[in-house]
Structure 1
Amino acid sequence: MLEIAGYENGPLVDGSRFLDLPLFWPCHLGSSLWGEEAQTVAFGPDWDDAQELHKTLSSLDEWPTFTVHLHSGYALHVVYRNVEGDHGVDYLLSHPDWTKAVTLATDDGHFMGPGLSWPELEASADQTSTSGVANPHARLLLLFPMLGDADVPEAAAPRLAAALTELTIMEDPTEVARVLLENQGQWTPASWREADGTWICDGSHSFRNPENHFALPGPQLAGIARALRQ
């Protein structure tokens, strides 16, 4: 079993076997595929197979976990939290010096986020690593559900479409990329700004908005900003 500091409440298992399954990606990105039309474009005729895969990903016995290592020594973790009656995907950040990982976003019925901006998503995807998830396309799509950015650049759509083209069998990855960027998870896309060297946002459900009573402490917010942009 895998271990993440402070997150020992489930049977974490390496989820890398799912990364080469084309249907894994629309399943993982499902919270940004709102409506029947979007799901039809993303899943095509494979809806039944996707439902079976979702059951596997939601097994109470194994919680698929993916780790994206960063140059800063930090690591991002994507955990399928398969608690009975409380399924969801948690997005965590850990560091060897921390006693526990911190939650950046949760993708479930009680969602919290966003967890990062587009520049942070792209920077995290492009960092090289010899362990964990190494493919930059896979890193981008794994972390995408954390995104909430009201000011994504024009280059975001073709970058996302390239990842979908590489890893999926979608008939129209360009259209799916457009839909994903238009929806961006369950929260309203946030505005990001730098304050005293720390990148923060105005998302009402975000741990990275210091105005929220549940926001992460200032030193952690600064550390997160450094980790995600190096």
Structure 2
Amino acid sequence: MMALVTTSPQTPPVRIPGYDEGPFRHQPELLDDHLFWQVHLHLSDTHDLEAEALLSQLLGGDTWPVFTVPLAGDHRLYVVYRALEGEAGIDYLVHHPDWDEAETLAQDDGHFMGPGLSWAELTTAADNGLPGGSTIDPHARLMLLLPAFGDDAMPDDAVERLTAAMRARTRVEAPERLAAARLAYQGEWGPTHWTTGARGYLINDGGYSFRNPANRFAWPTARLAQVASALTP
């Protein structure tokens, strides 16, 4: 069953095969809201009433906000705010038109799964400039996908890169300090080691990752290879 994301008349409907909860609504306008980023990146403290209200709206409203990022080879990455009572969270999904259903890349919730992206893959998706998604802005894409990332080998300029995005898209004080703290905290899974496996594609050793072939719930070999190719820098 295909899920339908309600959009404006100018925007083609977004369908996520195999992901049939909902109702969905494509909401790219949220990416221009500085408060959204505080919520999405867990930058707000528990006393921020505005952030609490927005989080309640995102994860407890009548619609599920959805964002999209195109990837190489006609793949697409979806970020879905799963406003399901008792099971709310954020799902990161990847899909290709030839697949029967989307694959879960990562889950940001109480039953977390991930990471789904290395640092190089994260920045590649942010910078690819491919049209057809919620935004082509690299700063917005970087922060949108950041919660799905985990990598124990970041480059020296990683904090600088995230700081620039925060300065461009948020109103937080001391963005460099917050960027460093956010990169030190890499989801519930923590920093994960990525390597090129024997078959020539990127895998990791995360105990909660679909991209660790040692896990019983890992994707099949062909899918691991295809997704890695779509995300290759």
- Secondary structure of 2:105's counterpart equals strand
Give the distance between the partners of 2:73 and 2:34, measured in 1 at CA.
Answer: 30
Aligned to 2:218: 215
Give the distance between the partners of 1:53 and 1:60, measured in 2 at CA.
Answer: 10
Kindly report which structure 2 residues correspond to 1:25-174, keeping only aligned pairs within 5 A, or say none.
Answer: 25-30=37-42, 39=44, 47-132=48-133, 133-174=135-176
Aligned to 1:11: 23
Normalization by structure 2: what TM-score? 0.90
Aligned to 1:36: none
List gaps (5 residues or longer) in structure 1: 34-38
Give the distance between the partners of 2:225 and 2:15, measured in 1 at CA.
Answer: 25
Give the distance between the partners of 1:76 and 1:3, measured in 2 at CA.
Answer: 12
Give the distance between the partners of 2:176 and 2:96, measured in 1 at CA.
Answer: 36
Normalization by structure 1: what TM-score? 0.92
Equivalent residue for 2:193, pick from 180, 191, 194? 191
Give the distance between the partners of 2:232 and 2:62, measured in 1 at CA.
Answer: 35
Contact 1:66 1:79 in 2 (8 A): yes
Shift of 1:99: 1.0
Contact 2:72 2:231 in 1 (8 A): no
Contact 1:123 1:228 in 2 (8 A): yes
Shift of 1:59: 2.8
**Percent identity, aligned pairs only?**
47
Q: Residue by residue, what CA displacement relative to the aligned partner does 1:140-181 show, whole Å, maximum 9, x if unpaired?
A: 000000111011111111000000000000111101100011
| Letter aligned with residue 29 of structure 1 | L
Give the distance between the partners of 1:96 and 1:183, measured in 2 at CA.
Answer: 34
Contact 2:92 2:104 in 1 (8 A): yes
List gaps (5 residues or longer) in structure 2: 1-5, 7-13
Shift of 1:229: 1.4
- Secondary structure of 2:107's counterpart equals strand
Aligned to 2:10: none
Aligned to 1:204: 207
Extract structure 1 runs of 4+ deviating beyond 2 A.
Answer: none
Equivalenced residue count is: 219
